[in-house]
């Protein structure tokens, strides 16, 4: 059976799932979204994802036509109707149908879309052998333009960085801010391990504080590591004992080489491996039940 997609209160086969070409999400990237994972019949960190969704919408003055509780049921029902126990869920709220102008007042009602399907960003061997990455010239947007804490539909900066990765034959990149500090990947947060400390860049540098990032910070502390936010440069990545990326879709991915420099022993380190194991255990046992 075809994947069923939720749009504004109804489910449609994915071949028939459509929005208006006058929707401001399509015309201007005017909207917000969340990528969410389900594991073993539970939606992982659903509360945190929905809280961030509604915060993002409030920040851009986008009124979501469903309550928080109604949106929770939309996510769960989308998984149920597709009989998915393990899934990647994309929840999209756009400004809705308007005219060709920018004025959001011309969009009387937001469009709500929920898709549940599978996803695999990287091949399985990346998680056991590690990933090679490069840094790119595309910079993260300054925080005085659009707050990085708003998860908007406009990901063009990340896409341009991904194009650089693809053209050079790499699966992922490291992006810097305009001052040269390490920010994140195209859609992942970055961590380094140095002197037994687990460090990730702070939000004020221009990153989206990821929900997986926060979960890993808590997990690292629970495992006895000093885990903190801190600024660092590419030099610190090159000389780190370990490096890894985190994200809802990516999960926890070890990085073993950056810009041709071998990181640590050139293989996933013990801290990263413990965090990967802990994350997998947690995702299999925690979350909002679907069925």
Residue 131 and residue 97 in one domain: no
Tokens read off for 7 = 């749009």
CATH number at residue 21: 3.30.470.10
The rounded Cα 290 to chain-centroid distance in angstroms is: 21
Residue 74 and residue 138 in one domain: no
* pTM of the predicted model over 0.85: yes
Residue 144 and residue 45 in one domain: no
Residue 102 lies in a domain: yes
Q: Of 76, 91, 117, which closes a domain?
A: 117
Residue 249 and residue 140 in one domain: yes
Per-residue pLDDT of the chain (291 residues; tens, 9 = 90+): 799 999 999 999 999 999 999 999 999 999 999 999 999 999 999 999 999 999 999 999 999 999 999 999 999 999 999 999 999 999 999 999 999 999 999 999 999 999 999 888 788 999 999 999 999 999 998 888 888 889 999 999 999 999 999 999 999 999 999 999 999 999 999 999 999 899 999 999 999 999 999 999 999 999 999 999 999 999 999 999 999 999 999 999 999 999 999 999 999 999 999 999 999 999 999 999 999
How many whole angstroms separate alpha carbon 147 and alpha carbon 227?
24
How many whole angstroms separate alpha carbon 271 and alpha carbon 248?
20
Residue 181 and residue 276 in one domain: yes
Residue 167 and residue 111 in one domain: no
pLDDT of residue 147: 86
pLDDT of residue 1: 72
Return the exposure string of 115-153: e unless at least 16 CB atoms fall within 10 Å of the residue's CB, then b: bbeeeebeeeebbeebbbbbbbebbbbeeeeeebebbbb
- Find the domain containing 203 and state its range: 124-285
CATH number at residue 196: 3.20.10.10
Residue 290 lies in a domain: no
Residue 58 and residue 147 in one domain: no
How many whole angstroms separate alpha carbon 62 and alpha carbon 35?
18
Residue 291 lies in a domain: no
Residue 199 lies in a domain: yes
Residue 172 and residue 51 in one domain: no
DSSP string, 97-131: B--SSS-GGG--S-EEEEEEE---SS-HHHHHH-E
Residue 82 and residue 181 in one domain: no
* Total number of domains constituting the chain: 2
Residue 92 and residue 128 in one domain: no
Q: Give me the phi and psi of 15, to 5 degrees please.
A: -70, -20
pLDDT of residue 81: 97
Residue 112 and residue 130 in one domain: no
Residue 202 and residue 99 in one domain: no
Q: Of 71, 98, 117, which closes a domain?
A: 117
Q: Of 102, 117, 132, which closes a domain?
A: 117
């Amino acid at each position: 059976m075809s994947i069923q997609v939720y749009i504004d209160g109804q489910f449609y086969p994915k071949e028939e799932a459509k929005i208006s070409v006058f929707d401001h999400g399509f015309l201007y990237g005017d909207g917000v979204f969340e990528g969410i994972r389900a594991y073993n019949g539970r939606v992982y960190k659903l509360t945190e994802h929905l809280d961030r969704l509604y915060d993002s919408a409030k920040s851009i003055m986008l009124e979501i036509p469903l309550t928080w509780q109604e949106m929770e049921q939309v996510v769960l029902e989308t998984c149920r109707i597709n009989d998915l126990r393990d899934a990647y869920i994309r929840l999209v709220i756009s400004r809705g149908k308007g005219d060709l102008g920018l004025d959001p007042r011309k969009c009387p009602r937001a469009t709500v879309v929920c898709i549940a399907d599978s996803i695999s960003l990287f091949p399985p061997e990346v998680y056991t052998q590690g990933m090679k990455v490069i840094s790119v010239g595309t910079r993260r947007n300054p925080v005085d333009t659009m707050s990085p804490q708003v998860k908007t539909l406009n990901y063009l900066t990340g896409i341009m960085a991904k194009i650089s990765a693809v053209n050079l034959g790499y699966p992922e990149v490291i992006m810097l801010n305009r001052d040269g500090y390490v920010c994140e990947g195209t859609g992942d947060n970055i961590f380094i391990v140095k002197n037994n400390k687990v460090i990730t860049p702070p939000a004020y540098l221009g990153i989206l504080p990821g929900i997986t990032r926060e979960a890993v910070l808590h997990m690292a502390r629970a495992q006895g590591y000093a885990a903190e936010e801190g600024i660092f440069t590419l030099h610190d990545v090159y000389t780190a004992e370990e490096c890894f990326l985190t994200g809802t879709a990516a999960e926890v991915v070890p990085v073993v080489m950056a810009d041709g420099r071998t990181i640590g022993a050139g293989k996933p380190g013990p801290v990263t491996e413990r965090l990967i194991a802990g994350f997998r255990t947690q995702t299999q046992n925690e979350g909002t039940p679907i069925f």
